[in-house]
Amino acid sequence: MNGLSRELLDLAHARGVATDYWDWRGNHVQVPEATIVAVLAAMDVDASSPEKAATALRSDVDAHWRRMLPPSVVTKQTDSETVRVHVPHGSPVEVWLELETGTTRQDLEQVDHAVEPRTVDGTLLGEAAFHVPSGLPLGYHRLRARAGSQESSCTLIVTPDWLGLPEALGDSRGWGFAAQLYSVRSEQSWGVGDLVDMTDLAVWSGDRLGADYLLVNPLHAGEPGAPMEPSPYLPKSRRFFNPLYLRVERIPEYAAMPAAERAKVSRIAAWLGKELAGVDAIDRNVSWTAKRKALRIVHAAPRTAGREVDYQAFCRREGQSLVDFARWSAVAEAHGNDYRTWPEDLRRPDSSAVEAFAKENAELVDFHMWLQWLVDEQLQSAQAKAVGAGMRLGVMHDLAVGVYPGGADAWRLQDTYATGIQVGAPPDPFNQVGQDWGQPPWRPDRLAELAYTPFRDLIAAVLRHAGGVRIDHILGLFRLWWVPVGNSAAQGTYVYYDHRAMIGVLALEAYRAGAVVVGEDLGTVEPSARDYLRERGILGTSILWFENGSDGKPLPAERWREYSLASVTTHDLPPTAGYLAADHVRLRDSLGLLTRPLDEEIAADSAEREAWMSELRSRGLLGDDPSVEETVAALHRYLTLTPARLLSVALPDAVGDRRTQNQPGTTDEYPNWRVPLAGPAGEPMLLEDVFRSSRATSLADVVRG
């Protein structure tokens, strides 16, 4: 019985809350009762006693019977579905389907279904079952039911069985660079790599090197003002983009401004250049403060009639989501970047106080909406130019696993998020005390009630101008580690999501965008999760240093997964030159993150690397006394021996950089996400230098085969 009451066990399982799990050491762990009760409380369920747990479970069952139709139905195109309909016992019922094209389907047959009726609220209810046929067109349809004077409807989502790779790639392999965009600065960018730098990098690598895509870090929206969170994986909104990445001088209104106004912008840029001269770090606060000041000048410039039509069309398409995001940004400028500290009457987007604030600050709200229009425009240009330069996919975006708990998404969608909970990860070999990411999780029940609209809007926005998306911690679409606030990261439990629905919506949006989906499926992974992703045509992630067989030895190239994106390293490890020198081990030691003496860690790390060097030599890829550059090339050449359909080259590897971008388990102890691109000796390297790099060209030749 796990030490728990039967009532609590049944309720937890019905709500998808794990009461036990297997840890990374293979131990069976019983989840404490207090953790389960706290997690259920975050779903507005009182399970503080066996009696209350039993009452909550009965309430859930009654709520299910009260619904004539389920909240939403998600199915694969070749699957048929049985939908249960609840009506007064004995009442005739009809069910039909309205396709998103406007066509009506009346051919839903009732099937035999013997279930005892149930009395709810004094009414005896019966349950009928209807067959939804397979072969329906992909999309978002409406399922409708009528019994006497009662009517109900829900969303029916028909998703692709298989996504796979876009037709543009055909049967051949693709490759591309992976870059932390903020670190890739040019002579024209304002201290932070921007969307024009991204465009230029994509065009250069597509045209000159034959790359098929450019994978960049999450470009999600951050704070509207300082202090700014450096991590792109803790955004204020995943639905909208960060105007920090705008290139001011590429805005049409800037070009049309009088010379005196353009001179003001130039003086701001010159001031910023002096402020950042000699600074070997990405300073988002200084860069955005200057850029925002310049953007305010451009925002005041008049738009042509055609541009105004374009802007208004964008605002209508984005709808209330854009309005709410802009309002959050405006209020945040006045009251801080965490809505939980705002005056009480401003903490909900639908309050009269927020409405009044928006009217009083209409110009500022419009400014933030305008910024999103500009980002959309520059993203559209980047994707068009990338494909025009020969890329078969173009830009591949990265989707963070969650958002900051006081940010724009958490504010405007707060009823969709669990309160008092933060997402993280249980202890594993790399973080033996567990991880608390400080992000609120979506509630599975609310997502279903909303027909997954927040999720599908998010995916559609990310893929609007892209050829692919990488989903960080894609296993979070199966289950997430919920940690009650106040608990240690190890004192959490898994909460399960309807992965068939989540993966289905993801595949549908990617199919419509003609995009590929890559899931970051590293770490503690249930084999069934990887199997399911493969069955749905979602690519996995293969990092060379982590690809070991059951014997602990390097996994032979021929046994790697075909449907994966394969690379030597990732942003949570140092570039390969640094990894070969064990920089990551010494860094973790200096930060107090090792669990055993440095010499033992160095020896173990050296043995792991030597195993890979032996594998390279056995394949004839590496000589006896290779240089670092030759070793890096050999490791990437090994990737070409695998069946992996996509290969990725970290841009730092291409130029010989060795500095770590992010050290997991730290915040300010190390300058995570603030390290600019550099050469082998640590010298600053601008984008113009990358274009002239023979080293980058040579490594591209290796992976291109």
Say how far apart CA 114 and CA 112 lie, in whole Å.
Answer: 7
> Cα-Cα-Cα-Cα dihedral of 418, 423, 427, 432, to 10°?
-130
What pLDDT does 595 receive?
78
Furthest CA-CA distance within the chain: 84
Say how far apart CA 701 and CA 633 lie, in whole Å.
Answer: 10
Chain segment 531-541, per-residue pLDDT in tens: 999 999 999 99
What pLDDT does 25 receive?
81
SS3 481: strand
Q: Where are the beta strands (DSSP E) in 217-298?
A: 220-221, 237-241
HSE-up (13 A, CA, CB side) for residue 132: 29
Chain segment 145-159, per-residue pLDDT in tens: 999 999 999 999 999
What pLDDT does 172 receive?
93
What pLDDT does 665 receive?
76
SS3 493: strand
Query: Terminal CA-to-CA distance of the chain, rounded, Å?
Result: 58
Where exactly does CATH 2.60.40.10 map onto the chain? 78-159
Say how far apart CA 403 and CA 440 lie, in whole Å.
Answer: 7
> In the predicted model, what is the mean pLDDT of residues 316-328?
98
Say how far apart CA 456 and CA 392 lie, in whole Å.
Answer: 24
**Other CB atoms within 10 A of residue 274 CB:** 8
**In the chain, what percentage of residues exceed pLDDT 70?**
99
What pLDDT does 433 receive?
75
SS3 108: coil
* 430 confidence band (pLDDT: 50, 70, 90): low
Chain segment 191-227, per-residue pLDDT in tens: 999 999 999 999 999 999 999 999 999 999 999 999 9
What pLDDT does 435 receive?
83
What pLDDT does 291 receive?
98
Q: Is the pLDDT of residue 667 over 70?
A: yes
> In the predicted model, what is the mean pLDDT of residues 380-406?
97
24-33, 559-568, 641-650: least confident range: 24-33
**Other CB atoms within 10 A of residue 256 CB:** 15
The residue written with tokens 């010989």 in the block is 656
Q: Where are the beta strands (DSSP E) in 46-172?
A: 72-76, 81-88, 94-98, 104-105, 109-111, 118-120, 123-132, 139-147, 150-159
Full-model pTM: 0.95
Chain segment 247-277, per-residue pLDDT in tens: 999 999 999 999 999 999 999 999 999 999 9
In 344-416, which residue ranges form alpha helices assigned H by DSSP?
352-360, 362-388, 408-412
State the DSSP code for 554.
B
CB 661 within 8 A of CB 571: yes
Output the six-digit token pair for 325.
């995001």
What pLDDT does 543 receive?
97
Question: Which amino acid, 153?
Answer: S
Smallest CA-to-CA distance from 437 within 453, 449, 426 is with 426
Peptide bond preceding 232 in cis form (omega within 30 of 0) = no
Question: Which amino acid, 372?
Answer: Q
3.40.47.10, 2.60.40.10, 2.40.100.10, 3.30.465.10: CATH of 78-159: 2.60.40.10
Chain segment 537-554, per-residue pLDDT in tens: 999 999 999 999 989 899
Dump the DSSP string for 630-694: HHHHHHHHHHTTS--SEEEEEHHHHHT----S--TT-STTTTTT----B-TTS-B--HHHHHT-H
Rg (CA), the chain: 27
CB 211 within 8 A of CB 189: no
Say how far apart CA 445 and CA 311 lie, in whole Å.
Answer: 36
Q: Is the pLDDT of residue 238 over 60?
A: yes
Question: Which amino acid, 189?
Answer: S
Q: Is the pLDDT of residue 312 over 50?
A: yes
Q: Are strands 174-179 and 646-650 parallel, antiparallel or unpaired?
A: parallel
Say how far apart CA 326 and CA 305 lie, in whole Å.
Answer: 23
Spell out the residues 6+ positions from residue 454 whose beta carbon is closer than 8 angstroms to its own.
239, 413, 416, 442, 447
CB 655 within 8 A of CB 694: no
Q: Is the pLDDT of residue 429 over 80?
A: no
Four-residue CA torsion sign, 660, 665, 668, 672: positive
Q: Is the pLDDT of residue 571 over 70?
A: yes
What pLDDT does 334 receive?
97
Question: Which amino acid, 484?
Answer: P
Smallest CA-to-CA distance from 242 within 405, 363, 407, 359 is with 407
Say how far apart CA 175 and CA 178 lie, in whole Å.
Answer: 10
CB 454 within 8 A of CB 417: no
Output the six-digit token pair for 51.
């009696």
Q: Is the pLDDT of residue 66 over 90?
A: yes
* 465 confidence band (pLDDT: 50, 70, 90): very high
Question: How far is C-alpha 391 from the geometric centre of its chain's CA atoms?
Answer: 23
Chain segment 168-195, per-residue pLDDT in tens: 998 899 999 999 999 999 999 999 999 9
* 1 confidence band (pLDDT: 50, 70, 90): very low
Output the six-digit token pair for 196.
């024009």
What average pLDDT is seen over the chain? 95
Chain segment 472-505, per-residue pLDDT in tens: 999 999 999 999 999 999 999 999 999 999 999 9
